[in-house]
């Protein structure tokens, strides 16, 4: 590790912050207990129809086909209303069963107008921007993702990506960071002797650490999943899709892994995205079920020290397009969940949702930079000082949004 975060720096960071900000509940536990899972919705989810500006007439004018009806508006039979979060904002009804209970327990906060200063409106470019977390106009180092840098400034961290390919966000770890797709895991095919021989093949190779970590993770994940099949016999319904992955992730993160990343695709809704029901609603149901399955599986004790952040590369056009869908936009809404999260709130700088406040008369503006948000969160979760935070996000002033 490049720079290790020691108890001494923790104490220094505590002193620098002053007592008032040391009250977050994650502080009560040793910092190594903290767990972070970043969930990336790839394809730019239509945040405007998920955390819905129910207070805005302009929203209802702009989306005649797609808008989710206001709470209490008594829409036609078969169409559900938004669930009021406060006077200005509502939640998509597909999240009623999964996320509303967390909101009521004040364990989920939403950060509207969040995103990046990347204006390409390109999925791939902006996903890269977010995962790298480097200044937008500088030259890019594709061997340095922000979660890899975070892992570098923390001690006793065990990062892992629950993806088939290693995501950019974890590129460039001081020690190689593992990735593992959770849907293709079977019984390990190699015996102890063969694994030893293969490790020997790589003893002088730059990939030797990756090989060792690969065997290690393979074993961990298999152990964890075989326990699940035993447990599954006692459960009536076996989960599928993202919920299955999310529950597996929870078990692995309840064990040793404490810095995780997972992505979910299918959010690029240019055509027929639906309103209260339909395509997007179905995706939300699956996402919500997964996240609530994660909460359930990780258990109340660990959940207290766990933070899940749901992000996406950008928002979508505020107005619907001609195909009952939405096109690439700018500002998004991020979700922050956890047992120690100060939730039940809409957090961060806001503007009234109206035509005059749209960015380029098209999209939500970005008022909260994702790096500032994460920086502030990391300071609270891990007690990182300015030097450490600068290693994660160079040149960014962390924003303390008192999320935990």
Partner 1 sequence: MEVYVRTAAIFALAGGLVAASPSAHSAPPAASPATSLDPIRVLDCLTFGPAEADLDKLHREGLTRWLDGQLHPPRTDVLPPAAQAQIDSLAIAQKPMAALVADIAEKGKALRDITDPDLKRAAQQAFQQSLNDFAHQAATRDILRDLYSPTQLRERMTWFWFNHFNVHQYKADIRAMVGDYVDSAIRPHALGRFRDLLGATLHHPAMLRYLDNAQNAVGHINENYAREIMELHTMGVGSGYTQKDVEELARILTGVGIDASPQNPRLKPELAGQLVRQGLFEFNPARHDYGDKIFLGHHIAGRGYAEVEEALDLLAKQPATARHISRQIAVYLVSDNPPQALIDRMSETFLHTNGDIANVLRAMVTAPEFAAAAAHGKFKDPVRYVLSAVRLAYGDKVILNTAPIQAWLNRMAEGFYNHQTPDGYPLAESSWNGPGQLALRFEIARQIGSGSAGLFRPEGPGQTDRPAFPQLQNALYFSALKHELKPTTVAVLDQAISPQEWNALFLSSPDFMR
Among 204, 235, 236, 237, the residue binding partner 1 under the rule CB under 8 A is 204
Q: Which is nearer to partner 1, 97 or 271 (CB)?
A: 271
Which residues, in sequence order, are CB contacts of 11 under 8 Å at separation 6+? none
What's the min distance (Å) between Cβ of 347 and partner 1?
Answer: 30
SS3 5: coil
Should residue 198 be labelled a site residue for partner 1 when binding is judged by CB under 8 A? yes
* Residue 148: strand, helix, or coil: helix
Q: How far is the CB of 108 from partner 1 (least distance, A)?
A: 28
Q: Which of 255, 259, 200 is nearest to 228 (CA)?
A: 255
- Nearer to partner 1 by Cβ, of 79 and 212: the residue is 212
Binding mask 93-122 for partner 1 (x = CB under 8 A): --------------------------xxxx
Query: Which residue, 42 or 149, is less far from partner 1 as judged by CB?
Result: 42
- Using H for helix, E for strand and C for coil, what is the string for 222-251? HHHHHHHHHHHCCCCCCCCHHHHHHHHHHH
Candidate residues 90, 214, 260, 315; the one interacting with partner 1 per rule CB under 8 A: 214
Which is closer to partner 1, CB of 195 or CB of 351?
A: 195
Is there binding between residue 42 and partner 1 (CB under 8 A)? Answer: yes
Q: Does 164 bind partner 1 (CB under 8 A)?
A: yes
Q: Which stretch binds partner 1 (CB under 8 A): 10-18, 234-242, 265-273, 296-304?
A: 265-273
Answer whether 75's CB lies under 8 Å from 113's CB.
Answer: no
Q: What's the alpha-carbon Rg for the chain, to the nearest Å?
A: 21
Residue 275 near partner 1 by CB under 8 A: no
166 binds partner 1 (CB under 8 A): yes
Which residues contact residue 318 at a Cβ distance below 8 angstroms, ignoring those fewer than 6 apart?
48, 59, 62, 329, 358, 362, 363, 364
Binding status of residue 171 toward partner 1 by CB under 8 A: yes
CB of 271 to partner 1, least distance (A): 6
Q: What residues does 335 pair with on adjacent strands?
A: 110, 310
In terms of phi and psi (left: phi > 0; alpha: psi -120 to 50; beta: otherwise), the region of 30 is beta
User: Between helices 146-153 and 370-382, what is the axis angle to 10°?
Assistant: 20
Q: Which of residues 292-311 bind partner 1 (CB under 8 A)?
A: none
Distance of alpha carbon 272 from alpha carbon 255, whole angstroms: 41
Does position 230 interact with partner 1 (CB under 8 A)? The reply is no
Q: Which residues contact 259 (CB under 8 A, 6 or more apart)?
A: 35, 36, 147, 150, 151, 154, 157, 158, 159, 160
Residues touching partner 1: how many (CB under 8 A)? 57
15, 75, 124, 397: residue in contact with partner 1 (rule CB under 8 A): 124
Among 177-185, 306-314, 382-390, 392-400, which window interacts with partner 1 (CB under 8 A)? 177-185
List, in sequence order, every residue forming a beta bridge with 262; answer none if it has no partner. Answer: 39
Q: Which is nearer to partner 1, 143 or 387 (CB)?
A: 143
Burial class (CB in 10 A: 0-12, 13-18, 19+), 346: middle
| Rounded Cα distance, 117 and 137, in Å | 10
Closest CA to 266 of 53, 71, 45: 45
- CB nearer partner 1, residue 204 or residue 395: 204
| 177 lies in the binding site for partner 1 (CB under 8 A) | yes
- Binding residues for partner 1, rule: CB under 8 A, are 42-43, 119-125, 142-143, 161, 164-166, 171, 176-181, 184, 188-190, 194, 197-198, 200-205, 207, 210-218, 265-266, 268, 270-271, 321-323, 325, 327-328, 360
């Amino acid at each position: 590790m490049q720079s290790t975060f020691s108890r001494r720096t923790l104490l220094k960071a505590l002193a620098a912050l002053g007592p008032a900000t040391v009250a977050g509940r994650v502080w009560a536990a040793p910092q190594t207990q903290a767990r972070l899972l970043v969930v990336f919705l790839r394809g730019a989810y239509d945040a405007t129809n998920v955390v819905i500006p129910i207070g805005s007439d302009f929203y209802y004018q702009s989306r005649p086909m797609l808008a989710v009806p206001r709470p209490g508006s008594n829409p036609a039979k078969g169409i559900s209303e938004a669930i009021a979060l406060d006077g200005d904002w509502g939640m998509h009804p597909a999240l009623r069963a999964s996320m509303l209970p967390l909101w009521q327990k004040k364990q989920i906060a939403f950060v509207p107008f969040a995103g990046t200063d990347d204006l390409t409106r390109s999925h791939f470019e902006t996903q890269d921007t977010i995962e790298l977390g480097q200044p937008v106009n500088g030259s890019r180092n594709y061997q340095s993702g922000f979660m890899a840098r975070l892992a570098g400034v923390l001690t006793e961290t065990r990062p892992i990506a629950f993806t088939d390919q290693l995501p950019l966000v974890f590129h460039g770890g001081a020690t190689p960071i593992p990735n593992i797709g959770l849907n293709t895991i079977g019984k390990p095919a190699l015996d102890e002797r063969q694994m030893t021989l293969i490790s020997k093949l790589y003893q002088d190779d730059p990939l030797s650490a990756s090989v060792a970590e690969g065997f290690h993770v393979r074993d961990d994940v298999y152990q964890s999943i075989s326990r699940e099949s035993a447990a599954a016999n006692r459960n009536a319904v076996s989960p599928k899709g993202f919920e299955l992955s999310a529950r597996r992730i929870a078990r692995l993160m309840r064990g040793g892994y404490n810095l995780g990343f997972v992505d979910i695709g299918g959010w690029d809704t240019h055509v027929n995205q639906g309103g209260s029901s339909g395509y997007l609603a179905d995706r939300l149901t699956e996402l919500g079920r997964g996240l609530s399955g994660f909460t359930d599986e990780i258990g109340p004790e660990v959940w207290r020290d766990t933070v899940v952040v749901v992000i996406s590369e950008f928002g979508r056009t505020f107005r619907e397009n001609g195909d009952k869908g939405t096109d690439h936009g700018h500002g998004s809404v991020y979700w922050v969940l956890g047992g120690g999260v100060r939730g039940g709130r809409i957090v961060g700088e806001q503007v009234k949702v109206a035509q005059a406040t749209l960015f380029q008369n098209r999209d939500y503006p970005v008022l909260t930079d994702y790096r500032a948000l994460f920086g502030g969160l990391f300071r609270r979760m891990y007690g990182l000082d300015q030097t450490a935070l600068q290693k994660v996000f160079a040149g960014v002033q962390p924003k303390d949004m008192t999320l935990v």
